Homo-oligomer: A and B are copies of this chain.
Amino acid sequence: MAHDRTDLWTTPPAELLRPGGGFDLADMDRGDAPGWSGGKKDSKAFLADRAPLLSELQERLFAHGRTGGDRSVLLVIQGLDTAGKGGVVRHVIGMVDPQGVALRAFGVPTAQERRHHYLWRVRRALPKPGMIGVFDRSHYEDVLVPRVQGEIDEEVWKKRYREINRFEERVAAAGTTIIKVALMPSYEEQGLRLMERLDRPEKHWKFDPGDVDTRLRWDDYQAAYADVFANTHTDAAPWHVIPADRKWYTRLVVTELLTQALIDLGLGWPRPRWRVATQKRRLAETMSEESLAEAAEKARKKAAQFQVEEEAYAATVNEVDDDGPVRAEESAADDHMDEPATSRRSKQAPAEKKHKKHNNKDKDKKGKKKS
């Protein structure tokens, strides 16, 4: 299926970045941009092009939530200092209506939080129906930080993996699409980014001396992350491990994952639970002849426009949807369209997918430090 000129994905990133069987974190090229055949400039055009679609998809989700629907999306963002978590929030999440976003940054647990189970604060921050929840760090900190700092032993973090998997499975079953992304820059790149924070007065506030301490434990954190991917990558909540030396690539991937997740919900505009004609009659009684004529004229114009817009939206979604071609082949009888998105999705369950080797490793190498 032909994609429009701004979509330079050769392979959906969801397929490429999921840590399946052969995945080796140590082996991942952090400067790579797997699946993307363009460069940084193309990524900007792509984001600008996607913004209105993402915006409409988000509005449909919000409308769904406001009218009794139970679906929501949760984006879990993990990564060490300078990985680019904030940039993803600003540049990707910043594209949609703030009213539809529930953002939660998880820092070091407070005294109150420490008195509860580590999932307590996470449960309270789950997105309500209709919302896109965003976790800047998450419950995964609880199998990373205390492990590296030697505060818990293997038995505990393994138990936590199981708890987390069960927890996420229940969250997903209740209607939340979970997208987990781990932003993984190289050791060299992290050094450069931290130094930049020290070199630039307007970035000092982003630096904390503890960041260097954490950096000194780099290998331990990488091992802990690798273990997390190996143990908590599930059908209900798959991981996407993103090479993060190029910030623009990270943002591109998260935009694509979010778009696809929203498309998979397959949400139309909700039907009203009240009779339109009745409400129009009630409202008309409060309006002047002149206003009613103006409204009718406007409605006539908009009605035609609505059809055009709906068709354009459907065409765009069809084109952008990475399940598109598959679905088209299967849909001779068109009966699967009523299946829930999750069951359609499960045909290509993430855990069964191999983490394909990145094909364009040698491409555009010089651009490694660009961001």
Interface of A toward B, CB cutoff 8 Å: 63, 66-67, 86, 89-90, 93-94, 97-99, 101, 103, 105, 134, 136, 188, 191-192, 194-196, 198-202, 204-207, 209, 212, 215-216, 269-272, 274, 276, 279-280, 282-284, 286-288, 291-292, 294-295, 298-299, 302-303, 306, 369
Contact = CB atoms under 8 A, between A and B. Distances in A.
Contact of A287 (B86, B191, B282, B299): B191
Contact of A212 (B89, B90, B276, B283): B283
A294 B212 CA distance: 19
Nearest to A62: B205
Given A196-B295, A283-B212, A202 B306 contact: yes
B98 A269 contact: no
A141 to B, nearest CB: 17
Given A207-B279, A212-B286, A270-B205, A299 B192 contact: no
Contacts of A291: 188, 191-192, 195
Contacts of A272: 204-205, 207
A270 to B, nearest CB: 5
Nearest to A105: B99
Total identical chains: 2
Contacts of A202: 63, 269, 306
Contacts of A284: 195
B94 A103 contact: no
Contacts of A270: 204-205
Nearest to A99: B89
A181 to B, nearest CB: 16
B279 A188 contact: no
A212 B291 CA distance: 16
Nearest to A194: B283
A66 B195 contact: no
Contacts of A101: 98
Given A66-B205, A191-B287, 11 more contacts: A93-B98, A98-B98, A99-B136, A191-B286, A191-B291, A194-B283, A195-B283, A199-B299, A199-B303, A204-B270, A204-B272
Nearest to A295: B195
Most buried by B among A66, A199, A303: A199
A340 to B, nearest CB: 21
A215 B282 CA distance: 11
B280 A198 contact: yes
Nearest to A188: B291
Contacts of A103: 98-99
Contact of A199 (B136, B274, B302): B302
B306 A201 contact: yes
Nearest to A302: B200
Contact of A204 (B201, B276, B303): B276
A291 B63 CA distance: 49
A188 B99 CA distance: 27
A294 B370 CA distance: 12
Contacts of A204: 269-272, 276
Nearest to A198: B280
Contacts of A89: 97-99
A212 B279 contact: yes
B298 A196 contact: yes
